Chains A and B, each alone.
Chain A
Amino acid sequence: MSGISLQGVSKRFGQVRALDDVSLEVAPGELVSLLGPSGCGKTTLLRCVAGLERPDAGVVQIAGRDLTHVPTRERPIGMVFQAYALFPNMTVRQNIAFPLEVRRQPGEQVRSRVDELLELVHLADQADRYPNQISGGQQQRAALGRALAPHPDVLLLDEPLSALDALVRTRLRDEIRRIQQAVKTTAIYVTHDQSEAMAIADRVVVMNHGRVEQIGDPPQLYETPTTPFSAAFVGSRNALRLPVREGRLRLGEAFDVAAPAGAGATAVVFFRPEDVELTTDGSGHPATVDVRIFLGSVTRLHLVVAVDGETARIHADLPSRRAMALGPGSAVAIRVDPAHMSAFGSES
């Protein structure tokens, strides 16, 4: 197993700075997910690791070896692409055998390795089909088999599930994780889907505008975002801009938290819908139910609250059985535990 080390990687496309001094360490056997919105630089970073893009500055190392200027074909990587990129003229078996055949491995060794991978990705019965004769999920599993064929030190996955429907995504996501752990390969997984990143990764790297916003394991990222972008991008969060008074941020009796150090006249507080508590003992800040959305076991309420003479909207998630008693126009009172809140100054 080999780790990946990226130091100060920068890349420009014309006037656009796609990567801005990105540094990242991936431990051997670890699966790290690069998460961020479109255009944040996550795919460019992955392509720099693959050698498909050459960074303008910085160093890319795999297993301690500087590969910054080494061509893609000589890097110890396997890559899975968003659009599968299987070779249409080859069967599943031939696709998986391709990386071994270009390395001129003996025929018997190729056959045995391909059979092993067909079993691993559950495609033994589709081995002699062409890519257009199998489903999208099967194509992506074939692509995974092809990427793993030469025993790569590093597996790179570029939004591998984004072309698939929801049910297949979940199933294949779990399968990718199972396979990655079975072969004990270091992996980088690019996605813009936060739930996918949380579910599959040991650590998640949140990226924005070509920079790393935060690196952490999924619970850490979910519970304690360190930047406003992380707070807003990861999970569903309420964001309220409140005036700072005497170093505190208050919403009536709903909450009272310390303003962040260096905050100006206003600051933004973030809290999750599931942390909004509807009180029944008369305490809390008054709110009115505007919309009720049934989501299964949970129902999301859109609440309207008064903030300094203006109105703001807050989302609250309640167990559906409890929320059924409430409807548009119902008057409620809310409270939020300050322990579950994050506050950032306006300038952050």
Chain B
Amino acid sequence: MAATTAPAGRSSGVGGLPGRRAGPALLFAGLTFYLLLPMLAVFLYSVATVWRSQLLPDGYTLEHWISGLGDERLVFALLRSLGLATAVTVLDIVVVVPAIYWARVRNPRIRTFTELSAVIPFALPFVVIAFGIDRLAGDFVPWLQSTPWILWLGHSAIAFPFLYWAVDGAMAAAGIERLSEAAETCGARPRQIIREVVIPNITPGLVAGGILVWATSFGDFALAQILTGPNFETVPIWSADALLQTTGKGNELAVITFVTFIILFALSAAIVYWNRGHTLRLLPGAGAMERTEG
């Protein structure tokens, strides 16, 4: 009986599948279109000669790309932003990951302090934080003022909560306390535990938090404007200046926005590709359990 009923059930299921699949596929396509639409508009604007009242530009040109990417000032601003965002991400990872590990595994009492400090950047406007940092630097380390170093430290301070919460969640999901104790009983030293057990098991959170930190630093205008201004021109500073130009650098701004998007998208895609299958192994309960034996 089972042999005859099962195929019948499957056959009716197959008949219903196209309908059942169409809904999610349409939803996914709609969502993708909605999310990509702004970038598509930016791209079209970057290659538009003039774009007035029609749905599409009046004409197309690569002139803005050539002039934008040939503009030394813009290229240097882009390189500064890329370097700064990367340095901020590295600093946050180096400081935040061991701190969270310490707070979770060794000294849970400091968690109140670390969690509180990870909320402050969300509670205060960046402008207020920027003025606070500038004032503090003026009082104690005036030689740091208006240097890239203060921007590096400032960005690290405002962006670290993104990494903190992502990594803290990843550590909780991986049961890092338990794994850490197991590694200790295996004879591992703290550095070995962090390198060989903690980091590999929090990769998804580390990557997600790292991208957020990178993007926060790359896109920040408030701190960059107040702490360094034109002394260390980043892409957002250049963009603000471009918007103020009467000569109209809107199309070149679109070029640089699109380039930034492509960089971030490529980075995320590369990480997703590199992590394929990895996330499933690390998330408890995820992945199919092949129970070959009891």
Contact = CB atoms under 8 A, between A and B. Distances in A.
B286 interface: yes
B186 A146 contact: yes
B182 A81 contact: yes
Contacts, number: 97
A102 B286 contact: no
A79 B293 contact: no
B184 to A, nearest CB: 4
A131 B182 CA distance: 15
Contacts of A165: 294
Interface stretch (A111-119, A132-140, A258-266, A303-311): A132-140
Interface residues of A, number: 39
A221 interface: no
A87 B292 CA distance: 20
Given A81-B178, A130-B281, A87 B197 contact: yes
Interface stretch (A70-78, A194-202, A225-233, A243-251): A70-78
Interface in A73-105: 73-74, 77-79, 81, 83, 85-89, 98-99, 102-103
A147 B181 CA distance: 12
Contacts of B73: none
Interface string B164-201: 00000000001100110111111111001000110011
B294 A171 contact: yes
A312 interface: no
A87 B179 contact: yes
B290 interface: yes
A273 interface: no
A74 B185 CA distance: 9
A14 to B, nearest CB: 13
A29 interface: no
B157 interface: no
A9 B178 CA distance: 24
Nearest to B285: A132
Contacts of B290: 133-134
A50 interface: yes
B294 A87 contact: no
A276 B291 CA distance: 44
Given A89-B200, A98-B183, A137 B293 contact: yes
Interface residues of B, number: 31
A137 B291 CA distance: 10
Contact of A73 (B178, B188, B196): B188
A79 B201 CA distance: 21
A150 interface: yes
Given A88-B174, A89-B200, A167-B294, A98 B188 contact: yes
A102 B201 CA distance: 17
Contacts of A87: 179, 182-183, 197, 200-201
Which 5 pairs across A and B sit closest by C-beta, in order of nearness?
A85-B182, A99-B186, A89-B200, A79-B185, A168-B294
Given A98-B196, A135-B292, A150-B186, 11 more contacts: A51-B184, A72-B184, A83-B178, A85-B181, A87-B182, A88-B174, A98-B188, A102-B183, A131-B281, A133-B289, A138-B293
13 contacts: A51-B184, A72-B184, A73-B186, A77-B185, A81-B178, A83-B178, A85-B182, A87-B200, A99-B186, A102-B183, A133-B287, A135-B293, A146-B186
